[in-house]
Amino acid sequence: MNKLQMIYEQAKQRTANGQVASYIPALAAANGDLFAVSLLSAEHEIELGDCTETFTLQSVVKVISFMVAANYHGIEEIMHYVDVEPTGDSFNSIVRLESHNNKPFNPMINAGAITIASLLPGETMFEKVKSVTTFLEQIIGKKVHINNEVYFSEYQSADYNRAIAYILQANGFLKSDVEEALQVYLQLCSISVDVSDLAKLAFYFATNGKESEAICNKGVINIAKALMITCGMYNASGKFAAFIGLPAKSGVSGAIIAVVRNGEIEQLQGPIGIGIYGPAIDQVGNSVAGIEFLMHLSKEYDLFCL
């Protein structure tokens, strides 16, 4: 067993310390014992664990929606609607929506992501969702679909997100009506992927979008990475930056992308994209095994990049 496999095996044992997300009924049905990792460089891919599993992107999609909206409107316009400051609060917190000129703090928390959903290019809900799926499909090189069971389950239990959307609307931070913004946001959270798709997405950031069909302004990619560092792992982003030191984004499905700009992990060299699926999550919402894996990976392979 090589060092990488040992790190994987050790991290997998941590799944027992987490719990699958229960506040979205369809996610509560996931198997918390699963743990899958995919690492991708220009020339090789290493897959470990339950890599055939599919799951929904959840908050990982927030990075992509931000890029699509910022690419379309330009950063200056986007900054009128959403800031780029971390909050230290949980992802669905409502508490700061009456401070800071009522503007959502950043696009990685639900408030900012719902505003971004309303700003996506397109006249209809369908076109807005498509603007993001098309961009994602160009990155991962295959068609994606929405998991409707997860979408309907979320839509029916979206009281918190609906409350956030109404506050955003009341303060002029929503470009569409409440229900359309929610439908777009929740459909995007429900895009179905596998761990290899996540690695491709992370690899896109690792190469700054080079060699991909998905065209994105370089400045926007830089801000997306900065947002991942400062806000990508919810209110554990500070600790993640301090002890792991990689741009990363997580979702409550147990998905994580992590970006290595230049590293060496077994036979992989140079820019490396890491995709993780481990549905047993901690109190904050991050995959327990995923965090453990990245912690040891960063240390053992000297990946800390800040």
Q: Is 102 helix (H, G, I), strand (E, B) or coil?
A: helix
Q: Is residue 275 within a helix (H) or strand (E), and if so which, with residue range?
A: strand 268-277
Between 160 and 304, whose beta carbon lies closer to ligand GLN? 160
- Burial status of residue 240 (CB atoms within 10 A of its CB: 0-12, 13-18, 19 or more): buried
Among 220, 190, 197, smallest CA distance to 140 is for 197
**Active-site amino acid positions:** 59, 62, 185, 234, 252
Integer Cα distance of 113 and 104 in angstroms: 9
On whether 92 is known to bind a ligand per the annotation, the reply is no
Among 91, 31, 66, 42, smallest CA distance to 286 is for 91
Contact string 232-261 vs ligand GLN (x = CB under 6 A):
-------------------xx---------
Specify the amino acid at residue 212: S
On whether 185 is known to bind a ligand per the annotation, the reply is yes
On whether 252 is known to bind a ligand per the annotation, the reply is yes
Integer Cα distance of 107 and 120 in angstroms: 13
Which residue from 92, 93, 183, 212 is in contact with ligand GLN, where contact means CB under 6 A? 92
Between 15 and 59, whose beta carbon lies closer to ligand GLN? 59
Residues 194, 28, 31, 274, CA torsion sign: positive
Between 212 and 253, whose beta carbon lies closer to ligand GLN? 253
Which residue from 67, 154, 198, 273 is in contact with ligand GLN, where contact means CB under 6 A? 154
Smallest distance from the beta carbon of 33 to ligand GLN, in angstroms? 20
**How far, in Å, are 18, 19, 54, 149 from residue 206 at the CA level?**
29, 30, 23, 32
Which residue from 110, 207, 230, 286 is in contact with ligand GLN, where contact means CB under 6 A? 110
Smallest distance from the beta carbon of 97 to ligand GLN, in angstroms? 15
On whether 106 is known to bind a ligand per the annotation, the reply is no
Q: Is 99 helix (H, G, I), strand (E, B) or coil?
A: coil
Integer Cα distance of 152 and 51 in angstroms: 26
Instruction: Please report whether residue 181 would count as binding ligand GLN according to CB under 6 A.
Output: no
Q: Is 71 helix (H, G, I), strand (E, B) or coil?
A: helix
Instruction: Please report whether residue 91 would count as binding ligand GLN according to CB under 6 A.
Output: yes
Instruction: Please report whether residue 40 would count as binding ligand GLN according to CB under 6 A.
Output: no
Integer Cα distance of 45 and 8 in angstroms: 15
Smallest distance from the beta carbon of 235 to ligand GLN, in angstroms? 11
Which residue from 38, 58, 131, 169 is in contact with ligand GLN, where contact means CB under 6 A? 58
Instruction: Please report whether residue 189 would count as binding ligand GLN according to CB under 6 A.
Output: yes
Binding region for substrate? 59, 110, 154, 161, 185, 234, 252
Interface with ligand GLN (CB under 6 A): 58-59, 91-92, 110, 154, 161, 189, 251-252, 285
